[in-house]
Structure 1
Amino acid sequence: MLKRRLYQCLSAAVFSVALAACATPQLVQREVSRNVPASFPNSTQDVNNTAPVRWKEFFTDPNLVALIDTALHHNQELNITLQEIQIARNEVQARTGEYLPSVSLGGRAELEKPGRYTLQGATEEAVNIQPDRRTPSPLANYQLGAFASWEVDVWHKLRNARKSAATRYLASVEGKNFMVTNLIAEIANSYYELLALDNQLVILKQNIDIQENALRIVRQEKESARVTELAVKRFEAQVQNTTSLQYKTQQRITETENRINFLLGRYPQPIVRDDQTFNALVPQPIQAGVPSQLLSNRPDIRQAEQNLIAAKLDVQVARAKFYPSLGISGGVGFEAFKPGFLFTTPESMLYSLAGDLSAPLINRNGIKALYASANALQIQAVYNYERTVLNAYIEVANQLSNISNLEKSYDAKAKEVQALNQSIRISNSLFKAVRADYTEVLFTQRDALESKFDLTETKMQQLNATVNIYRALGGGWN
């Protein structure tokens, strides 16, 4: 009868555990959309792509290559990210150990004297024990053995947690790759900006010489009473204005050099460069390929994809917390009340084996909250993936359009500079012949200076657009 009652109790317990496990809340999950347009705007479906080109082959300037190589070894932010990757790798190792059996070796020594009115003390007094066979008081106990515990991963909760950690490790690697891509692009853009500033400084110095020469001529004209003091002051003001621009440009050069030095992880020092080659630089032709290639070329898209996979695994881990958990524990060793008896076998040998099965039954709000949060994070990861893909597509589309428009803008600016250079000579000749007002000479020189600045700026933007689309396509990290 007692055995039957015990079986009934066990059956009821198992039924309760199963019922608790089945009562898992169902939440709606959103599937990710991986559809991208077949091609970029105003582009053919050519599969040739510049992204796989290594950065040392894409950038041909040896000075720029040396700067990038230094940054990849000494940039502090990149090195911080490398340590984050190591932390993620350690997390994988920790998760791996959770679903493997845990075995430990241990020893123990204790001394106990039960009180007279405790259960043990009262029992000894109540039992008729012969004086020469009484339990020693105080009673020592020595123990030495190996003990093991293992949570049987029935529902793959621990394995999925390990897979999630491994996937996030892969995501951290992709994050590092994306940082490398951005770092290379930032150094290249700053380097081209530095070359452009060097050329603008040369233009300013040339214009100062031209304006000072014009000032001397105007002063001579004033002595001949052909112009007034007003013309002299206007020409002097123009010289001072251009000189002021020269100092501002020198400050921008210093700041750009220091920005590059910061990216290289070093204190300020001159940046080695050949500014004479700037005007000869020609933007490299870019092959954008097809949008679907972004899914495999862009590190940030692959990072978002890995995070999405990890989020789905986290949902499975959170769901498994509703199910029963099975634990097994055991031990084997020696135990005795005197050290001399510790290794006396079989009297001093001990062994144990136990299993436990448990599942949450009442007050599962905490588990429900974790499960709901895991689902929300998964949906968030879906949106983040789609946003990353959309952002990558738009970046490439913008840069393709930018390259096309900058090419046309540069041609127009080059023609403008050529026309204004001719107009300077014409205005000077007319001024000497008293056929043009001095203001026409001033305006012509000012317009010519601005157009040369704009031409240099447009060339820099062309080079930067080439760098930016190389980055947008997913190039630079391999």
Structure 2
Amino acid sequence: MKRAALLLAVALPGCTLPGKRTDAPGTTAVVPPADWRTPLPSDGPIRADWWRSFGDPALTALVERALANNIDIQIAAGRVEEARATEALSRAQLLPQLGGVAAETQGQTVSPLGTPSRAIGAQPSLSASYDLDLFGRLRVASRAARAQLLASEAARDTVRLATAATAASGYITLRALDQRLSIAQATLAARADALRIARRRYETGYSSRLEYRQAQGEYSATAQLVPAAELAISRQENALSLLTGTVPGAIPRGVPLDRLTPPPILDGLPSDLLRRRPDIFQAEQTLVAADRSLDSQRAAMLPHLSLTGSAGIVLSTALANPVGVFSLGASILAPIFDGGRLRAQEQAATARRDQAAFAYRRTALTAFREVDDALAGVRRTGEQATELANQTEAARGALQNASNRYRAGYSGYIEQLDAQRSLLTAELSLVQTRTDRLTSYVALYQAMGGGWR
């Protein structure tokens, strides 16, 4: 892959964050690249349908059902709504605060002649306050909340992508278990035929008791593979049911394992495709939020200037005419001595920013590793599957020859037994390798953030 185009500002040392920063000794700050990733719609699914590339409608339906009903996705969506409310609250801090009150009073008044009388009055008023935010404390806090909202949306997308990949891998594993069960049943039928022949030869005196006992043992060894495969299938179906948010039950099947056709991988995939990974975008926005929180914490050390005002009228039965009242004032609040509280909070924010920077770099490097692992898995398991297919064909031919020689009396049962064991091992290994190859494709799709089209 062409790695020079992506994330070098993220994964390589020597970059600095915007603005003046005092980094801890030995730390390396990083800067997010411009136009890093276009956020996905907050109320829509991931705009990638890579699971359709395998050509199995049952697989497609399973993944889409998991994306619609998975509980982890719903929990992540709830966190997004919480972050959205927090971001709205931070934006509200930038606006003037208005309030009103209409107090009612009752009492008595005394005239100059000493005659008391009852008086009823009211004083409606409107008050307003506004923080001028001279040093950007509230504005930076609002930007930090916005970055946290984007990070939570990316976290939700990460869960969606992982859910789709888990559903696809689980379905592939299920089809592999189905094929293992089919192989075990076919082998069991062949062993039953061999056991029948061995019993007949033993009863007629053409073979020893040893061959008959060997045939019995091999039949039982193969028979236990059937319930083991059925148990694994049941557990895999239950796991997929949980993933799709439903009660345990049967999972619909589509095409067999050997007919799943992932698309070919283009040579020279651009590393820019890694920009689609939501976990990288999440790490970036977490870094941005930590950086803005540090700015806000530093601004908290500076004076705060607030304007306040109120206006109202006084209404009373004791007054001939209403009386208007108003007030206007300003206040400056500056920390003088707080025992080092603000300084400690600023140091904690700096440490969180440095942690987010290192986490950002680690996420980028992990992305490269996952892509390389998936590409190597696709390539090497493909080569392994080719050789195992050749081995399976050779073992099948050897079993045919050994069976013919055994029935004709030219060889002992041990040759046929060895050929049966070799064929069973080769067939199961081929199924496992094909499964690994298909799951490597799924891992590659996930590592590339949802495909490369």
Q: Same fold judged by TM-score > 0.5?
A: yes
> Are the equivalent residues in 2 in contact too, given 1:103–1:147 (CA < 8 A)?
yes
> In the alignment, which residue of structure 1 is the partner of 2:67?
72
> Are the equivalent residues in 1 in contact too, given 2:103–2:124 (CA < 8 A)?
yes
SS of 2:112 mapped into structure 1: helix
Between the aligned residues of both structures, percent identity stands at 28
> In the alignment, which residue of structure 2 is the partner of 1:359?
334
Tell whether 2:241 aligns with 1:272: no
The Cα offsets for residues 144-165 of structure 1, whole Å up to 9 and x where unpaired, read as: 2111111111111101111111
* CA distance 1:361–1:134, shift in 2 (3 Å): farther
AA matched with 1:407: G
Q: Distance in 2 between matches of 1:93 and 1:427?
A: 77
Tell whether 2:147 aligns with 1:149: no
SS of 2:22 mapped into structure 1: coil
> In the alignment, which residue of structure 2 is the partner of 1:262?
242
* CA distance 1:408–1:295, shift in 2 (3 Å): closer
Tell whether 2:375 aligns with 1:400: yes
Identify the match of residue 260 of structure 2 among 258, 269, 281.
281
> In the alignment, which residue of structure 2 is the partner of 1:391?
366
SS of 2:253 mapped into structure 1: coil
Q: Distance in 2 between matches of 1:231 and 1:136?
A: 126
> Are the equivalent residues in 1 in contact too, given 2:83–2:152 (CA < 8 A)?
yes
Q: Distance in 2 between matches of 1:222 and 1:473?
A: 61
> Are the equivalent residues in 2 in contact too, given 1:286–1:466 (CA < 8 A)?
no
> In the alignment, which residue of structure 1 is the partner of 2:422?
447
Highest relative contact order (Cα 8 Å, sep 6+), 1 or 2?
1
Q: Tell me how far 1:31 sits from its aligned partner.
A: 2.0
The Cα offsets for residues 168-204 of structure 1, whole Å up to 9 and x where unpaired, read as: 1111111111111111111111111111111111111
> In the alignment, which residue of structure 2 is the partner of 1:185?
165
- Structure 2: where are the runs of 5+ without partners? 1-19, 34-45
> Are the equivalent residues in 1 in contact too, given 2:97–2:128 (CA < 8 A)?
yes
Tell whether 2:412 aligns with 1:437: yes
The Cα offsets for residues 197-232 of structure 1, whole Å up to 9 and x where unpaired, read as: 111111111111100000010001101222222322
Within a 5 Å distance, the mapping from 1:197-212 to structure 2 comes to 197-212=177-192
Q: Tell me how far 1:135 sits from its aligned partner.
A: 12
AA matched with 2:301: F
> In the alignment, which residue of structure 2 is the partner of 1:90?
85
SS of 1:187 mapped into structure 2: helix
> In the alignment, which residue of structure 2 is the partner of 1:416?
391
Q: Distance in 1 between matches of 2:211 and 2:379?
A: 44
* CA distance 1:447–1:295, shift in 2 (3 Å): closer
Q: Distance in 2 between matches of 1:225 and 1:342?
A: 131
AA matched with 1:102: Q
> Are the equivalent residues in 2 in contact too, given 1:32–1:382 (CA < 8 A)?
yes
What TM-score comes out, normalization by structure 1 length?
Answer: 0.81
Q: Distance in 2 between matches of 1:450 and 1:460?
A: 15
> Are the equivalent residues in 2 in contact too, given 1:71–1:265 (CA < 8 A)?
yes
Q: Distance in 1 between matches of 2:179 and 2:233?
A: 11
SS of 1:132 mapped into structure 2: coil
Q: Tell me how far 1:435 sits from its aligned partner.
A: 3.2
> Are the equivalent residues in 2 in contact too, given 1:295–1:302 (CA < 8 A)?
no
Q: Distance in 1 between matches of 2:267 and 2:163?
A: 21
Q: Distance in 2 between matches of 1:139 and 1:28?
A: 68
* CA distance 1:304–1:422, shift in 2 (3 Å): same
* CA distance 1:57–1:331, shift in 2 (3 Å): same
Q: Tell me how far 1:55 sits from its aligned partner.
A: 2.5
* CA distance 1:400–1:56, shift in 2 (3 Å): closer
Q: Tell me how far 1:388 sits from its aligned partner.
A: 0.3
SS of 2:259 mapped into structure 1: coil
Q: Tell me how far 1:102 sits from its aligned partner.
A: 0.4
AA matched with 1:192: I
* CA distance 1:449–1:174, shift in 2 (3 Å): same
AA matched with 2:355: Q
* CA distance 1:376–1:254, shift in 2 (3 Å): same
Which is greater in Rg? 1
Q: Distance in 1 between matches of 2:375 and 2:217?
A: 43
Which stretch of the first structure deviates more once superposed, 101-110 or 322-331? 101-110
Q: Tell me how far 1:282 sits from its aligned partner.
A: 3.2
Within a 5 Å distance, the mapping from 1:373-392 to structure 2 comes to 373-392=348-367
- Structure 1: where are the runs of 5+ without partners? 1-24, 36-50, 114-129
Tell whether 2:292 aligns with 1:313: yes
The Cα offsets for residues 394-418 of structure 1, whole Å up to 9 and x where unpaired, read as: 0001111111111110011001111
* CA distance 1:201–1:109, shift in 2 (3 Å): same
* CA distance 1:362–1:288, shift in 2 (3 Å): farther
Q: Tell me how far 1:378 sits from its aligned partner.
A: 0.6
Q: Distance in 2 between matches of 1:103 and 1:470?
A: 52
Q: Distance in 2 between matches of 1:298 and 1:358?
A: 45
What TM-score comes out, normalization by structure 2 length?
Answer: 0.85
Q: Distance in 1 between matches of 2:447 and 2:432?
A: 22
AA matched with 1:344: N
Tell whether 2:141 aligns with 1:164: no
Which stretch of the first structure deviates more once superposed, 98-107 or 382-391? 98-107
Q: CA RMSD in A?
A: 2.8
* CA distance 1:342–1:59, shift in 2 (3 Å): farther
* CA distance 1:171–1:342, shift in 2 (3 Å): farther
> Are the equivalent residues in 1 in contact too, given 2:121–2:317 (CA < 8 A)?
no
Q: Tell me how far 1:281 sits from its aligned partner.
A: 2.6
Which stretch of the first structure deviates more once superposed, 366-375 or 440-449? 440-449
Q: Tell me how far 1:447 sits from its aligned partner.
A: 1.8
AA matched with 1:386: R
SS of 2:99 mapped into structure 1: strand
> Are the equivalent residues in 2 in contact too, given 1:180–1:476 (CA < 8 A)?
no
- The number of residues matched between the two structures is 418
Q: Tell me how far 1:69 sits from its aligned partner.
A: 1.5
